[in-house]
Amino acid sequence: AGSGMVIEADGTVLTNAHVIEGATSITVNLADGRSAEADLLGSIPSSDVALVRIKGVEALDTVTLGSSTDLRVGDDVVAVGNALNLTGTPTVTTGIVSAKDRSVETETGVVLDSLVQTDAAINQGNSGGPLVDATGKVIGVNTAIAGGAENIGFAIAIDALKPLIERIKAGDGDLGARPFLGVSTADLSGVNPDVLQNLGVSRTDGAFVAEVTPGSGAAEAGLETGDVILSIDGERVRTTADVGRVVAGGDPGDTVEIGYERNGEERTVTATLGSTAEDQGG
């Protein structure tokens, strides 16, 4: 069992892929006490996102998707979900944003990135439920707790999921072909200042290229370790999460224009997105 949230009045529900993994049928328990069957619209396991649609319902109340981009460490958040499969109303816990742009390896070996870390209690059954801000808008999807640790939970940032939601809803393209640029990046705030000084990097925003995958679109375009990505297809890149968000909105085979800085000089290249074969469509 897990949790989910209604994002469209026709019964479209956003949840985690691992919540419905292997299910031969899906039953949704609504807040008003009703139960209904649902169909799987699609899932992307490597991003732990899935959409299902409830059968025979209409005009349902929906959540409001907010923006995770402007979240700050220390902001108040609330986690809502079906914790421990307890009967009755959903479990609501409060906390703060402890960190942003975390990466965590799940028990199945999948590495999830663009995670919001929170100290709001997230227990088994919370997966797929919303993490909301002080205004009640969804800024993340609860997905994991840190094994053996207290007060450490993670939610996938909603801005990273929005393009994936649209891909699943559209039903076009191969959900098993996840766009792949071929760079591992880090926020400049997390890079050793001596390294940045040696590379002539004085700026504070952008995504530092820590590694380039050989043979990838990034490598073919000439990106190198030590470059700082400033924009992708005209969208400004302030953090490593921005790289993942913009790339996720494309498709394998798309070309993207990348603005970057090397040795204090701003440059532009065009790269072709590759694909991973780790995702599965429903």
Which residue in 18, 43, 184, 279 is the catalytic one?
A: 18
Closest Cα partner for 82 from 13, 24, 151, 9?
13
Closest Cα partner for 226 from 255, 270, 192?
192
Which residue in 3, 43, 47, 48 is the catalytic one?
A: 48
Which residue in 3, 47, 98, 127 is the catalytic one?
A: 127
* Whether 47 is catalytic: no
Q: Which residues have CB under 8 Å from 117's CB, separation 6+?
A: 97, 98, 99, 100, 102, 152, 153, 154
* Whether 48 is catalytic: yes
100's tokens:
């942003």
Catalytic annotation, residues: 18, 48, 127
